[in-house]
Amino acid sequence: MPKMSDVAKLAGVSTATVSRVLRNPDTVTPSTKEKVLEAINQLNYQPNMLARHFRRTETNTILVLVPNISNTVFSEIVGGIEEEAAQNGYRVLLRNTNNQLENEYASIEHLKQRQVDGMIMLSPKLDEETLIEISHQYPIVLATAHLETPTIPFVSIDNVGSSEKATEHLIRLGHRWVAHISGPMYSLISRNRYEGYQNAMKKHGLNPEDKFVREGEFTYESGYEHMLDLLSQKEVPTAVYAASDDMAIGAINAANELGVKVPEDLAVVGFDNIKFASMFNPSLTTIAQPLHGMGQRSMELLLKKLNGEAISQTEHVLPDKLIIRNSCGAKHKEKLLPM
């Protein structure tokens, strides 16, 4: 494995010059640059990044913490991050936390030990205090996350508003008994989506009764179980808004299991617009987040942090969109109720 001194020797220059050719080519005379490049070629020299990183205490690599790599929501965000990173000479490495808080915490080690220069956390589960503490020491950005006190840059959508929109869509289709299967309440996102649901209900003079609200875990299984439960009551909802597509699909399958037809007997709206949402039968009406754009924006913010630029705005709320497909029954109806 040839080293820089080998190249220097062959080119008849000093290692300093070789280093300059590699990192500041403009500060070197074309003719010597030529010689050096030729030597590099001849020896098939590759800089030892371990040495370079050590010397410069930086890696040009960022870490993305993904709760669950099999969730298309996250993989699309990662796509946006990678694009922006590549354009700026950064590498992206992913770490799957498997939704384990401990893994999330453990990944700070990568930063502490300087394996990566910065980190983007997708839907972090760590408490706000801990996050702020980390952010105090290392460049981090959050995505699909929301903070009470936006001291750390984060990228998100308006979860309250989008939830309101989703719920209102069901109400305008004539439903009065709209149920909600929420995400876990320890997550601010879940609380926000719940809040949006409540807002919409109240706005239309409906009472968001406890018997129609269930706290799920964003998973298929929890959607399934809670729907079985909701449908086993004396009074049964005619519509349900689930805070994730996985839960919405679970809910639909539970309804089918009980002979309740979707969307005829039960209208369903999900959240996320995962890849499977359009493939499922019935196709899912859902809220789409601008995932790619969210990834890009997060990386832009992280780049600013890495370059020591000031970040004037920490709260980045991007626009979402209600995508109407078949599960809500809108395509069966002639028209919606007025707003």
Partner DNA sequence: TTGTAAGCGTTATCAG
Partner DNA sequence: CTGATAACGCTTACAA
Which residues have a Cβ under 8 Å from the Cβ of 58 and sit 6 or more positions away? 114, 117
Instruction: Return the residues of window 88-127 that contact a second copy according to CB under 8 A.
Output: 91-96, 98, 110, 112-115
Of the candidates 95, 289, 282, 278, the residue with the CA atom closest to the CA atom of residue 189:
289
- Shortest CB 249 distance to a second copy, Å: 6
Task: Return the bridge partners of 215, or none.
Answer: 182
Side-chain-side CA neighbours of residue 20 (13 Å): 15
Task: Return the bridge partners of 269, or none.
Answer: 241, 285
- Pick from 28, 140, 178, 247 the residue near DNA by CB under 7 A: 28
Instruction: Return the residues of window 41-80 that contact DNA according to CB under 7 A.
Output: 47-48, 51-52, 54-56
- Pick from 50, 149, 259, 338 the residue near a second copy by CB under 8 A: 50
- Shortest CB 302 distance to DNA, Å: 21
d(CA 222, CA 215): 9
User: One-letter amino acid identity for 125?
Assistant: K
* Closest CB to DNA among residues 55, 332: 55
* Closest CB to a second copy among residues 70, 312: 70
Of the candidates 261, 263, 291, the residue with the CA atom closest to the CA atom of residue 275:
291
Show the CA angle centred on residue 85, arms to residues 81 and 90, nearest 5°: 135
314 binds a second copy (CB under 8 A): no
Q: Which partner from the list a second copy, DNA, none does 99 bind, CB cut-off 5 to 8 Å by kind?
A: none
- Shortest CB 147 distance to DNA, Å: 33
186 binds DNA (CB under 7 A): no
d(CA 129, CA 45): 46
Of the candidates 313, 310, 319, 305, the residue with the CA atom closest to the CA atom of residue 88:
305
Give residues in contact with DNA (CB under 7 A). Answer: 1, 3-5, 12-20, 22-23, 27-29, 31-33, 47-48, 51-52, 54-56
Give residues in contact with a second copy (CB under 8 A). Answer: 46-51, 53-54, 57, 59, 61, 63, 66, 68-72, 74-76, 78-79, 82, 91-96, 98, 110, 112-115, 220, 249-250, 253, 256, 275-276, 279-281
